[in-house]
């Protein structure tokens, strides 16, 4: 472990969540809130960092990350995606990226999508896309930190971080090490009736990270013949859940075979849909 990092850990109470208001060591602690935040590469100027989280896997978190990045890029902003889902990376596939990342003595170059979104994912570094990442938690967390510190992102208006699902080691590292300006919580309708989403929301609150809102994915199915919305998993509970958690409902995305096909073919940049326009507006207003 680097000396700098060791020092930081020694200075802070073990359970530091950067919230001094609830800490017994407040006032006796040499750390300042947010002091575990890592500096990004000196060549970078990253203005806003948005985490995309979910309670569990397979609910469309990577899809929402990709759609949000495409939306912001279409609005004319310099956009990037840091794929922190190291054991289940989906970003290169959604954008049809096969290239490996290159580097020089100053850092690693992000891999650009067809429309110029800068991305980095563990799959850009592995020899084979299908090689599993069988690494211990601290190594995975260290990799994510390096994606922040060692990648030459350049000038970025909005960086989206595709977080691993749940409330484990890596989300904790991202919240502590990256200056996250807010998170978007993605959920499927079934997940909303369980307590899983609440845990993700509460974790962000514990870490003093603003929750920008909730996106309900796979919310309904639109009949291709008559356009009627079919609530496959029952009537949407998204509004009710958002109110319960005290957060905003940013959007509802239908189950759409075209979306699945766009992801599978690496053509997510061609999607058409206005489901996340409100979320984009909210982020622009940050
Ligand atoms: P997560 O990141 O939460 O694990 P993904 O975004 O990788 O989930 O989505 C899992 C799979 O479901 C992907 O193959 C994706 O294309 C598909 N999918 C997600 N949302 C939708 C949707 N609204 N309509 C159709 N397919 C979807």
pLDDT digits (tens, 9 = 90+) for 48-77: 999 999 998 999 999 999 999 999 999 999
pLDDT-derived band of residue 88, with 50, 70 and 90 as boundaries?
very high
Does 27 score more than 90 pLDDT?
no
In a domain, 6, yes or no: no
pLDDT digits (tens, 9 = 90+) for 124-180: 999 888 889 999 988 999 999 999 999 999 999 999 999 999 988 899 999 999 999
In a domain, 1, yes or no: no
Tokens 């992801």, residue?
A: 263
In a domain, 5, yes or no: no
Ligand 1 near 150 CB (within 6 A): no
Does 11 score more than 50 pLDDT?
no
Ligand 1 near 263 CB (within 6 A): yes
Cross-strand partners of 82: 120, 161
pLDDT at residue 97, rounded to an integer? 97
d(C-alpha 196, C-alpha 26), whole Å: 31
Which residue puts its alpha carbon closest to atom 4 of ligand 1?
58
More confident residue, 276 or 197: 276
Ligand 1 near 218 CB (within 6 A): yes
pLDDT digits (tens, 9 = 90+) for 111-123: 999 999 999 999 9
Ligand 1 near 89 CB (within 6 A): no
In a domain, 226, yes or no: yes
Q: Are strands 118-120 and 111-112 parallel, antiparallel or unpaired?
A: antiparallel
pLDDT at residue 213, rounded to an integer? 95
Which distant-in-sequence residues (6+ apart) come within 8 Å of 31 by Cβ? 8, 11, 12, 16
In a domain, 31, yes or no: no
Which residue puts its alpha carbon closest to atom 16 of ligand 1?
260
In a domain, 127, yes or no: yes
Tell me the whole-structure pTM to 2 decimals.
Answer: 0.88
pLDDT at residue 6, rounded to an integer? 45
Count: domains in the chain: 1
pLDDT digits (tens, 9 = 90+) for 216-273: 999 999 998 998 999 998 888 899 999 999 999 999 999 999 999 999 999 999 999 9
pLDDT at residue 144, rounded to an integer? 95
pLDDT at residue 209, rounded to an integer? 94
Ligand 1 near 214 CB (within 6 A): no
Which residue puts its alpha carbon closest to atom 23 of ligand 1?
255
Ligand 1 near 90 CB (within 6 A): yes
Residue 278 structural domain: 39-284
In a domain, 147, yes or no: yes
In three-state secondary structure terms, 191 is helix
CATH code of the domain containing 138: 3.40.50.300
In angstroms, what CA-CA distances link 220 with 62, 108, 216? 19, 41, 10
């Amino acid at each position: 472990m680097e000396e700098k990092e060791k020092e930081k850990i020694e200075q802070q109470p073990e359970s530091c969540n950067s919230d001094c208001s609830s800490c017994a060591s407040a006032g006796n602690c040499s750390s300042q809130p947010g002091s575990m935040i890592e500096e990004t590469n000196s060549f970078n100027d990253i203005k806003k960092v948005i985490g995309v989280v979910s309670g569990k896997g397979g609910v469309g978190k990577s899809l929402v990350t990709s759609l949000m990045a495409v939306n912001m890029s279409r609005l004319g902003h310099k956009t990037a995606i840091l794929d922190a889902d190291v054991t289940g990376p989906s970003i290169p596939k959604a954008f049809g990226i096969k290239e490996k990342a290159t580097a020089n003595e100053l850092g690693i170059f992000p891999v650009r999508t067809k429309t110029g979104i800068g991305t980095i994912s563990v799959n850009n570094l592995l020899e084979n896309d299908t090689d599993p990442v069988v690494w211990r938690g601290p190594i995975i967390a260290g990799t994510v930190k390096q994606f922040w510190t060692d990648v030459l992102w350049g000038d970025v208006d909005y960086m989206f971080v595709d977080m691993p699902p749940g409330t484990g080691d890596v989300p904790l590292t991202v919240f502590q090490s990256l200056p996250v300006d807010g998170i978007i919580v993605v959920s499927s309708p079934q997940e909303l009736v369980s307590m899983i989403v609440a845990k993700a929301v509460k974790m962000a609150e514990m870490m003093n990270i603003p929750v920008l809102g909730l996106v309900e994915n796979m919310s309904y199915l639109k009949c291709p013949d008559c356009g009627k919305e079919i609530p496959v998993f029952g009537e949407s509970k998204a509004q009710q859940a958002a109110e319960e958690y005290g957060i905003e409902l940013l959007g509802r995305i239908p189950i759409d075979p075209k979306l699945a096909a766009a992801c599978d073919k690496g053509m997510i940049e061609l999607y058409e849909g206005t489901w996340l326009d409100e979320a984009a507006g909210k982020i622009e207003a940050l």
